[in-house]
Amino acid sequence: MVRGNLGTSALTRRPVTRDIAERFPATFELVTSAVLGVAIVDLFLGVTSAVYKRWIDQITRVLGIAGASMPIFWLGLLAPYLLYTWLGCFLSGRSAASIDPPTRVTSLYVLGFTSDQKVASPKK
């Protein structure tokens, strides 16, 4: 392991370092966009709460405590359920077999895939 040889993947039967290198750009893009998105929203809510110490301050405080206290696996289960029941849509990503691959390829993996997709809305 010290030499960088992580062995062969049992799933893909290829070197693990090749699998990591293949999947790292999409993972890095996803993490970076999530961190930047959260930072922008948090900065906006923090400044708004500091300037207007009314109901927005109380709401952001409760949401902050709830967000810090909620286990991430529970949020991962709850978010798709709430998107489906309240908004009537489910963002399927790459999981649906009926979704075609993107026609326009960009240098950004997530943006290139989601820009061509339609949001599936089963409720009519």
Does the pLDDT value for residue 104 go beyond 60?
no
Structure tokens at 16: 């693990």
Q: Give the rounded distance of the alpha carbon of 117 from its chain centre.
A: 16
What does the pLDDT look like over 50-80, one tens digit per residue?
888 888 888 888 988 988 898 989 888 888 7
| Average of per-residue pLDDT across 82-110 | 60
What is the DSSP secondary-structure string of 15-65? BHHHHHHHHHHHHHHHHHHHHHHHHHHHHHHHHHHHH--SHHHHHHHHHHH
Question: In the chain, what are the domain boundaries?
Answer: 1-69, 71-124
| Average of per-residue pLDDT across 81-85 | 79
| Average of per-residue pLDDT across 98-116 | 57
Which letter, b or e, does each residue of 9-37 get, where b requires 16 or more Cβ atoms within 10 Å of its Cβ? Answer: eeeeeeeeeeeeeeeeeeeeeeeeeeeee
